[in-house]
Amino acid sequence: MLMYRRLLAASAVLSLISGVAHAQDVRTAEALRDKALLDRTAWDITEDLTTNIGPRVVGSPAMARAKDWGVAKFKALGFTNIKVEEFAKPSWTRGEESAQLVAPYPMKLDIVGLGRTVPTPPEGIEAEVALFRTYAEMIAAPEGALKGKIAVITQPMVTAQDGSGYGIAGISRRAGPVEAAKRGAVALLIRSISTSDSTVPHTGMTAFGEGVTTIPSAAMGVPEAEQLERLAKQGKPLRIKLKLASTTNPADVAWNISGEIKGTTKADELIVIGGHLDSWDVGTGALDDATGIGITTAAAKLIGDLPKRPKRTIRVVMWGSEESGGSSEAYLAAHKDEVSKIVLAGESDTGADRVYALKLPAGALTLPIATTAANVLAPLKVYVSRTPASHGGADIEGLEQAGVPSVELEQDASRYFDYHHTADDTLNKVRPDELAQNVAAWASFIYLVADSDVDFRAVKPAAAAAN
């Protein structure tokens, strides 16, 4: 009986200690949240990167400067264990580009070549147009049906808060050139993958690589795509001349750069967060993804500035080739031996408009941290979604496939795709107060995980299924 009473007393003491520790964590997370709303670090990082480095295409001199900038920024902000990890990555450089409607009347078309498109012959390509209102309509055409023609796809993108319209419309850009080539087309023009009505065209990655047969491809602004659609509807034959010049360097390299806020009692356990350092060449890559770099770096710095750091180590990664791919695979290859020690991964890569939802790893809604996070994030008007995280970002895809749990802090993407991959992706599109709200959400949530013992891998599949 005496032993039993002692065990009860010990249990009560442990519960009290645990409760006090939990309350302290909550107060610290709330203090971080509130401090972040007034902190300028994310803005300063975003401004510095977009102003002093500018567009950052893989293989460009600017990207090499960005690498050095990242190292210097980590040092200046007090990060440790700073690493630069090089990996092979072919580069692509845009050249002179032009397009003109030749018939039924001459009209200049504002176009931008799709990322990694092959060039036209120096004299360009002039051909009759085969216009399709949707990607599916083009796919329905048999092989050979577009022989000698320039395929045009005018499918619009639907605006959605979660950005889900991008995946549906984006297939015209990603797979369109290859599929049009299969059907005999000599070139492809698409309506920009855009939610705006702007004439400013949107670039972005298209298919390429060994064994891929593709054709010169570009995007045009929304009004011009709609003009071509109206002319085609009237039955008027359309003819376009397209010129694209570009070069590739198969022997180039890229870099993933990282720095850490070292943990205390569980420093070997890692939380990996970040954004991508590279951008397309047509803007300064403010929303895509200088803000992601700013948000995650600032959140980690705020945690690092605490009088007492959390148990686990927070690693911020500036991934070096998201736009043309390769960062994810390279990062996993370099860190495959520590995958089991990465307790959570996340990436900020949808601009800087406010976070509205938190998606946790599958099954995590049953854990106490879900309720705690919901209470801490509620003043930011962020709710914990019942839908689990499924894709935390292109650069952590490899980690996810290797079994690392991921988190998604969903940003309002209602206007993100107005500017995405365009010359308009510039600093003046960033809203400072919403940028700070992002930092507040990231800093408070990441701190809660970093100073906990939560094991998202331990959640039973049955619990995950129930959610």
**pLDDT digits over 404-438, tens only?**
999 999 999 999 999 999 999 999 999 999 999 99
Classify residue 414 by burial, with Cβ atoms within 10 Å: 0-12, 13-18, 19+. middle
Instruction: Name the residue among 248, 254, 358, 260 with its Cα closest to residue 309.
Output: 260
**Residue spans in the chain of domains classed CATH 3.50.30.30:** 91-246
pTM to 2 decimals?
0.93
Cα 318 to Cα 79, 285, 380: the distances in Å are: 13, 14, 26
Confidence of residue 147 (pLDDT cuts 50, 70, 90): very high
Name the H helices within 80-184.
135-139, 165-169, 171-174, 176-182
| 4 has a pLDDT exceeding 90 | no
Confidence of residue 210 (pLDDT cuts 50, 70, 90): confident
Topology at the third CATH level for domain 91-246 = Glucose Oxidase; domain 1 (3.50.30)
Region 188-192: mean pLDDT is 98
Instruction: Name the residue among 431, 428, 397, 427 with its Cα closest to residue 412.
Output: 431
**pLDDT given at position 17:** 37
Return d(Cα 433, Cα 194) in angstroms, integer.
25
CB 317 within 8 A of CB 460: no
The superfamily CATH assigns to domain 32-89+252-466 is Zn peptidases (3.40.630.10)
**Residue spans in the chain of domains classed CATH 3.40.630.10:** 32-89+252-466
What number of other Cβ atoms are within 10 A of residue 147's Cβ? 11
**pLDDT given at position 21:** 54
**pLDDT given at position 461:** 54
Confidence of residue 212 (pLDDT cuts 50, 70, 90): confident
What number of other Cβ atoms are within 10 A of residue 427's Cβ? 18
- Please state, rounded to an integer, the average pLDDT across all residues of the chain: 94
| 168 has a pLDDT exceeding 70 | yes
**pLDDT given at position 23:** 82
| 12 has a pLDDT exceeding 90 | no
| 211 has a pLDDT exceeding 70 | yes
Residue pLDDT, tens place only, 90-126: 999 999 999 999 999 999 999 999 999 999 999 999 9
**pLDDT given at position 34:** 98
Return d(Cα 139, Cα 206) in angstroms, integer.
17
Region 47-62: mean pLDDT is 97
Would strands 355-359 and 342-347 be described as parallel, antiparallel, or unpaired? unpaired
- Active-site residue set: 322
